[in-house]
Structure 1
């Protein structure tokens, strides 16, 4: 063996050892922490959120006033919200307010991702607010619930300036945001649940008129961790709860909102697409609300419907299903008989 061949062989062996060591480190990182998987998912989801918002641009009305990046808690760098309302609103006119909590699997997302959808809702006579909150694994449960309570308190403080009728709040959300919305509603309507989580509600039950819930997870105890989507859910639950086995986390048990609601729960509109991996959660929550005689309106589709409607189908307004979801959401809001205050 020549000296040159020996050097190349030695270099090749060293390279293999380095690659093998790196592979072990990466493997261990994925097994010991939710961070690596969460960061990969976040990158993909955030790109998708930007694309979804961009696709809605052609449906967006132009006569909407936007107030961006309002700080709702000066001590919290993540505590910002955006406000939208019709530019034609009178100086002292107050409108019902839809507070929308964005999705992103609780580990990603941004209020800007639903900017155009909020403008569309606002054009129908609402103040629409999109809030940001801290995502996992940087922050754990129940941080987003505390932040949502803070946002609701801020909106009441700034109600006149933002044209908000404080007697007519609607909580809304998609995906992980729907989960936060559903819990927030229960915190407001259910004192024992609020105490269990340790959050003081910042709205009275009489102020919360109803909620819009799209494509959310509501039964954490029965989330499947099998298959590709199961792997994603395992990452989310680990990151958000702070426990690799989230079922061992006593506080996190309260995240299964379906186990804690009662007949005082507010009127709700619930929907998910027939191809949504979380469809069973929406249907289970709807059934529970029927059982406890709470007011519920739903939009579900035939299982055999083609093409199947994906998770977050409601934001795709180029489809009949997306248009129907918007129309039925507005019909539900109209059924609440909310009126503006001149």
Structure 2
């Protein structure tokens, strides 16, 4: 019995030492926490990829892993189309989510194929994840991807005058920021960006469950604040992300202008980041920006969590898909 107690005590000691070691490592570097979060998020993404496969139309063709930025191995994009090249179609440029530290265009490829089946070109943009690459690398990559699509529009079947910037979660933030920077030269200048596409090329934005107002992090406590701090430290390289002026551009609502493109925005009723979407909507309304929303009653059953739109087997997922298609069809 005494030996059993010694063994249990030894194991508990090892566990405690491991937790302390992890805590110290997490304090010294953003990598430990980012690895844990990435594994969980990517596992969810893999399950989503499988779940959306049955909904992919047979007539969609894809061209994969096209390099859009010289010397950047992460800068790859996919083009999904429902017709053969040669006809320019309204083009949705979708940036994947994953808290800026996980995910990939590959994990949402089936969902993008489903959208393409409705009669448009859909581009999935890959970018560098954190902490290997920190802010504002991702926004600068997307700007370059848009230049590439403009220069190769004919061969890819892209309508470079009808680009719709879209994204989910962190990808929604990146797309909204890039749209905002093209619409506002001072916003672009604040991060040293020099957009090489014009505002009239961006017909609209489609934004799901994004992070648009980092001031909301100030009110978080406990595990929620720990999660956001871990993500933002990975993304920015610091825990001072709320007060360091270098990162003010992450909050799109602080830089939005009346020239922001027409926008479709949606979020689930049980999404912990719903406040970001509501803040964005209020800002769009204040500036008189044309926008459409898809929101749900607080007591909606079943509760709709983060990135609910990917669940195509559910009524809400199908409603979101139809709303995307209607929004794009109505754009000039």
If the length of structure 2 is used for normalisation, what is the TM-score?
Answer: 0.94
Task: Rate the CA distance shift 1:167–1:33 in 2: closer, same or farther, 3 A.
Answer: same
User: Is residue 2:219 matched to residue 1:230?
Assistant: no
Which consecutive residues of structure 1, in runs of 5 or more, have no partner in the other structure?
A: 338-342
CA–CA distance in 1 between the matches of 2:198 and 2:243? 33
CA–CA distance in 2 between the matches of 1:20 and 1:216? 36
CA–CA distance in 2 between the matches of 1:328 and 1:11? 60
Indicate the SS of the match to 1:247: coil
Bigger drift between 309-318 and 231-240 goes to 231-240
User: Is residue 2:48 matched to residue 1:48?
Assistant: no
Task: Rate the CA distance shift 1:13–1:260 in 2: closer, same or farther, 3 A.
Answer: closer
Task: Rate the CA distance shift 1:74–1:11 in 2: closer, same or farther, 3 A.
Answer: same
Task: Rate the CA distance shift 1:190–1:17 in 2: closer, same or farther, 3 A.
Answer: same
CA–CA distance in 1 between the matches of 2:222 and 2:22? 21
Contact (CA 8 Å) 2:214, 2:242: kept in 1 or not? no
Indicate the SS of the match to 1:269: strand
User: Is residue 2:104 matched to residue 1:73?
Assistant: no
CA–CA distance in 1 between the matches of 2:132 and 2:99? 14
Partner of 1:269: 264
Partner of 1:159: 153
Larger radius of gyration between Structure 1 and Structure 2: 1
Partner of 1:311: 306
If the length of structure 1 is used for normalisation, what is the TM-score?
Answer: 0.91
Task: Rate the CA distance shift 1:59–1:199 in 2: closer, same or farther, 3 A.
Answer: same
CA RMSD between the two structures: 2.2
Structure 1 residues 77-98: Cα deviation after superposition (integer angstroms, max 9, x where no partner): 1111111111x33x53111111
Give 2:165's match in structure 1, choosing from 163, 171, 174. Answer: 171
CA–CA distance in 2 between the matches of 1:291 and 1:207? 24
Aligned pairs for 1:28-107 (under 5 A) are: 28-86=24-82, 88-89=83-84, 91-107=85-101
CA–CA distance in 1 between the matches of 2:11 and 2:231? 35
Structure 1 residues 46-72: Cα deviation after superposition (integer angstroms, max 9, x where no partner): 010111111011111011111011111
Partner of 1:287: 282
Which consecutive residues of structure 2, in runs of 5 or more, have no partner in the other structure?
A: none
Task: Rate the CA distance shift 1:67–1:18 in 2: closer, same or farther, 3 A.
Answer: same
Structure 1 stretches of 4+ with a deviation exceeding 4 A read 9-23
Shift of residue 37, structure 1, vs aligned partner: 1.1
Task: Rate the CA distance shift 1:12–1:170 in 2: closer, same or farther, 3 A.
Answer: closer
Shift of residue 24, structure 1, vs aligned partner: 3.2
Give the length in aligned residue pairs: 330
Aligned pairs for 1:194-213 (under 5 A) are: 194-213=188-207
Shift of residue 210, structure 1, vs aligned partner: 0.1
Shift of residue 21, structure 1, vs aligned partner: 4.9
CA–CA distance in 2 between the matches of 1:329 and 1:22? 47
Shift of residue 245, structure 1, vs aligned partner: 2.1
CA–CA distance in 2 between the matches of 1:237 and 1:143? 14
Partner of 1:220: 214
Task: Rate the CA distance shift 1:306–1:202 in 2: closer, same or farther, 3 A.
Answer: same
